[in-house]
A and B are shown apart, each in its own frame.
Chain A
Amino acid sequence: MRDDREWLEAMWKDHAGKVYAYAARRVGRDAADDVVADTFVVAWRNRVSRPSHELPWLYGVARRVIADRRRSGERLAHLVDRLAENAPANDFHDADRRLAAAAALESLSEEDRELLLLAAWEGLGAADAARVLGVTAPSYRMRLSRARRRLAKALATESAGGTP
């Protein structure tokens, strides 16, 4: 048991910051604290099945924690709102471009968004991103390619005026 407690505390030290960033990117900073705590509690309960490479596993747990919260009706911040809050006031063109890209991203399915963001925000390679999503690496690559295509279409729609 002591080994397990040491493992939990070491895992927190190594990964809590990254899991917080993962959660804050998806649900906003206000809700991220609780998502991180829940993620490590769930990880602790499932410690028997923990893999040696822990971070993609923790991202996968955090992803399910966030999905549970959404299903339970909790209002979680949307990306467009968070970007609007942070947009620099002196560069309207850049802010517009970012908001159009964010709106295009928000218009995709949750699965497509996660495929794209694990690569773009968490910087995961195909093998680790596939572990987060519970799919094979070739399947991840195929889905990512398709999600990129859908994002490009959505962005073209946003740039052309907003409605398809």
Chain B
Amino acid sequence: MTDRPDLSDLNPVTDDHGERWARSPEGERARDRMLARTEVTVGAEPAPHPRRRLARYLVPAAALALIAATVVFVRDDARAPFAADECPVTIAVPPYLVPPEPWPATPPPVVPMHAGHWYGTEDLWTIIPFDGARFAPTGDKLFYWSRHFMTASDDFSEPELLVTAERLDGEADDVVVDHANNGGRADVGTFMVTGMELPSGGCWQITAEYRGAELSHIVWVSED
């Protein structure tokens, strides 16, 4: 097994060197060339300063916010913890995905998968339980299928599946899982499976990526 190389060790130019360059005659000459080339655009429409741009939108935005505040609860902090019913948990809605053969048109109830609907695209799909996506507080298995993932696939022994989880309602480090196993049954076909543990309860978005296809779903995770 090879250790992960420390790429900072390969850095051929330090930031300090960059700062010295900026103050050097070479840096001064580059600055003069840059300024000379930007002089030709003197007649161009001046760009508003970001603060002025902000002000342009601030007044109408403030008015809209005031109106909205009269009818809905306005959260002080977008990352404040949600109540369970505020988390937009993913629910599969018709028309449900019908995967290509040889996968079954609807997922059979198979333990430990939840009974539910196929959800996603032919490039990457999962099962969403009938009453919405779930995730156990202590960690859970995640199952994914793809028309590109079959026993003949070159990554069959080590699926190139990546799964991340991002907490939507509070500060928590993202979770990244880059190891998955293969699985297969006559009734659900070939699939990829991985396990994930989340560091806290709350509202989490789980995103899987496989061969360029991405699939996200949102789960509510209750505290232990």
Contact = CB atoms under 8 A, between A and B. Distances in A.
15 contacts: A17-B20, A17-B27, A18-B15, A21-B14, A32-B21, A37-B37, A40-B34, A48-B45, A48-B48, A51-B50, A105-B5, A116-B7, A138-B164, A151-B5, A156-B2
Size band of the interface chain B makes with A: 35 or more
A123 B31 CA distance: 25
B22 A41 contact: no
Interface of A: 1, 3-4, 7-9, 12-13, 16-22, 24-25, 29, 32-34, 36-37, 40-41, 44-45, 47-48, 50-52, 79, 82-83, 86, 98, 101-102, 104-105, 116-117, 120-121, 126, 137-139, 141-142, 145-146, 148-149, 151-152, 155-156, 159
A121 B17 contact: no
Contact of A159 (B2, B8, B13): B2
Contacts of B176: 141-142, 145
B5 to A, nearest CB: 4
- What 10 A-B pairs come out closest when comparing CB atoms? A21-B18, A120-B7, A17-B19, A17-B18, A17-B22, A101-B5, A47-B47, A24-B13, A37-B34, A142-B162
B77 interface: no
A159 B48 CA distance: 54
A40 B31 CA distance: 9
B192 to A, nearest CB: 15
Given A18-B15, A116-B7, A138-B207, A50 B2 contact: no
